[in-house]
Amino acid sequence: MNTNTIYLDNAATTPIAPSVKEAMIKAMEVFGNPSSTHGYGRESRILIEQTRKKIAKELNCEPGEIFFTSGGTEADNLAIQSSVRDLGVERIITLPTEHHAVVYPAEHLRDRFGVELVFLKVNEFGDIDLNELEALLTSSSKKTLVSVMHGNNEIGNLMDIDAIGDICKTHEALFHSDTVQTIGHFKIDLAVTKIDFITCSAHKFNGPKGVGFLFARGGVKIHPQNFGGGQERNMRSGTENIIGIAGLGAAFELVCSDREEEETRLNGFKQDLIEGIRKVRSDAMFNGRSADIGKSLYTVLSVALPQDGKNDMLLFQFDMKGIAISGGSACNSGAQKGSHVIESIRPDVPTQNLRISTGRYTTTAEIQSFLEAFAELTQQ
């Protein structure tokens, strides 16, 4: 039984919005196979293509550049592995702070196929030096894929994908960005940003789990990983997840409809959290750029407290008070080792880390309740 009353782990996943549930329930009545040519099939096909067009219009790209997937992990893998298999990539440049959906396939391609793998240096704030990227691209004639996430899911850092895209374009490198934390929450204009692949997962913006998409720029010719009926223009065989795609479309429409208002509201909550935490614990640090308004995800604040033995059970104690927060990426929750992101930026300073991530249904009262609980549980 769920005893939580306050949910502040929206970077891990978000509750499905009522309008999204309605769209999915309505889609359950559209049962025809989208590959069928009769009326039932055409009805399903129309639903899928309307969703594709809706997404493409918002991102300022062509509908044919959007491929529905099971989520961000599949989309990241498809972009990275296809770049090596189909596009002649011999070198991947990425960050040690990337999500494992990027790091692990890159390491697999290095270990299995001898692809050169280069990790850009990150400083104690999680920043990269674009001059290092440019120097690396200048130093080798190898066909290169650069993979840099737009917004870090643990420390909140926002990367300048426009500047990175320009550098990649100049040096004829492919550019992939894991945009799972930023799609919908931030305006991305694919007619302006020089990027070849971006990825999306619907459950990060009040949509259902198990559905997302890959944007692959039209001139980039990749081939399918799975073969069968040739769905998604032969890129992803298998009968389409009509209900999930309908939910994705409704959630995407919702998150884009009030993006600026939500950014202002949630940045206000972030500022309240920063001030409240500092008032209680003067020794609290904020991981990466998560406390820098305008340089980080407005949904994420990552806090580091000294690991002095008193804070070891903090996540459990918050949970017992009905407050759901995390220590980092939900994908690492079952692992014994700590966050690879925190280890990359602060390898020699052990800390207890708390990630507070807000969302559409977070309220002022919940922020105040968290701060009261934080004061009670961490008071020096």
Q: What angle do CA 65, 70, 71 make, to 5 degrees?
A: 80
Q: Tell me if 370 sits within 8 A of 9, measured CB to CB.
A: no
Q: How far, in Å, CA of 375 to CA of 100, rounded?
A: 33
147 forms bridges with which residues in the sheet?
Answer: 176
Nearest CA-CA partner of 193 in 167, 172, 212, 213: 167
Q: Tell me if 124 sits within 8 A of 345, measured CB to CB.
A: yes
Q: How far, in Å, CA of 344 to CA of 347, rounded?
A: 6
The DSSP output letter for 348 is T
Query: Each residue of 50-77: b (16+ CB within 10 Å) or e?
Result: ebbebbbebbebeeebbbbbbbbbbbbb
Q: Tell me if 251 sits within 8 A of 244, measured CB to CB.
A: no
> Terminal CA-to-CA distance of the chain, rounded, Å?
33
In the three-class reduction of DSSP (H, G, I as helix; E, B as strand; rest coil), residue 358 is classed as coil
Q: Indicate if 200 belongs to the active site.
A: no
Nearest CA-CA partner of 232 in 38, 70, 60: 70
Catalytic residue among 168, 200, 256, 331: 331
Q: Tell me if 137 sits within 8 A of 144, measured CB to CB.
A: yes
Residues marked active site are found at: 331
